[in-house]
Amino acid sequence: MIELKNVHFSYGEKPVLQNITFSVSSSESVVIMGPSGSGKSTILRLILGLECPQHGEILFDDENIATMKEKHKREIRKAIGMVFQDGALFDSLSVWENVGYYLLEHTRLSDEEIGRKAVEMLGFVGLNADEIIDKLPEHLSGGMQRRVAIGRALLSTNPRVMLYDEPTTGLDPQSAENVCNLIRKLQSEKSISTIVVTHQIADAIGLADRFVVIYAGELVFDGNLEQLRDSDDQRVRDFLAPFKSSFGEVAEKKFVG
């Protein structure tokens, strides 16, 4: 479904990604991990066509996003939902306007109809619409903002792929758990392919079918949990070392579960 082939990307003369190759198949969930500044979020931006690689191909259903015209990219983006870091909600719009943003911009539906759909979507993402529907994003907690952002991405285009950039960073454990549960719910109920960028090991283990580890712009690991745990690549071990205890504990739970 999505395939990156030998992707190189740099900001000016500073290389960010080098020779990245991996794929995500339909209904699969891939977690991209790696230290801060390793280029994880850039991969999501490349898939969404917000950046163009200097070399390589980014294929979506065998079409190369990297060489597409903007008009064609817009069509492809309809099949991709993106939840940005910190939600990226439109701060001058209320919650219902945020959730119904795509419909407000691209359809002729009435405000009442869009509001009704927004209420339904807020319910789906586990929020009480009556309490927050007319509030501005700044009046919501971090966890609520992420869920509104997920609702916005879902209502907009009915996506086949969801991209999450650090969906639980900065959230308290309960809110992070709620967001992870919602991502799992989407995977199981809507069969949506998922790519999650995170450095929260516990969340990654709970969400991933497969793991990709990026280290200093290079892909150093692509495999499942067992292979990740047993990896003898020093860079993977270095990255996992600080989380060793929690990694063992959570991984154990997953295996037992």
Partner 1 sequence: MPLLRVFNRWLKNFASETQELFFFSLKMILALFRRPFYIPETMEQLYILGFGSLYLVVLTGIFAGQGFALAFSTELADFGAKNYLGRIIAISIIRELGPVLTALMIAARVASGITAEIGAMKTSNQIDAMIAFGIDPIRKVAVPRFIALILMVPALTIICDFISLLGAWIIAIFISHITSTVYWSAVFERLVFGNLFVGILKPIVFSFIIAFVACYKGFSSEGGTKGVGRATTESVVLSSITILVVNFFITKVVFSLIKGYL
Nearer to partner 1, 45 or 184 (CB): 45
> Element (H or E) spanning 111, and its range?
helix 111-124
Closest CA to 131 of 112, 148, 146: 148
Q: Which of 63, 86, 177, 222 binds partner 1 (CB under 8 A)?
A: 86
Asked if 2 touches partner 1 (CB under 8 A), the answer is no
Site for partner 1 in 93-112 (CB under 8 A): 101-102, 105-106
DSSP string covering 35-82, please? STTSSHHHHHHHHTTSS--SEEEEEETTEEGGG--HHHHHHHHTTEEE
Instruction: For the beta carbon of residue 159, count every other beta carbon within 10 angstroms.
Output: 19
Nearer to partner 1, 105 or 230 (CB): 105
Nearer to partner 1, 159 or 206 (CB): 159
Q: Which of 40, 77, 160, 235 binds partner 1 (CB under 8 A)?
A: 77
Site for partner 1 in 141-180 (CB under 8 A): 156-157
Task: Say how far apart CA 70 and CA 58 lie, in whole Å.
Answer: 15
Judge residue 197's burial from the number of C-beta atoms within 10 Å of its C-beta, 0-12 exposed, 13-18 middle, 19 or more buried.
buried
Site for partner 1 in 198-237 (CB under 8 A): none
Nearer to partner 1, 86 or 209 (CB): 86
Strand partners, 165: 197
> What residues line the site for partner 1 (CB under 8 A)?
45, 48, 50, 74, 77-78, 80, 82, 84-86, 88-91, 101-102, 105-106, 156-157
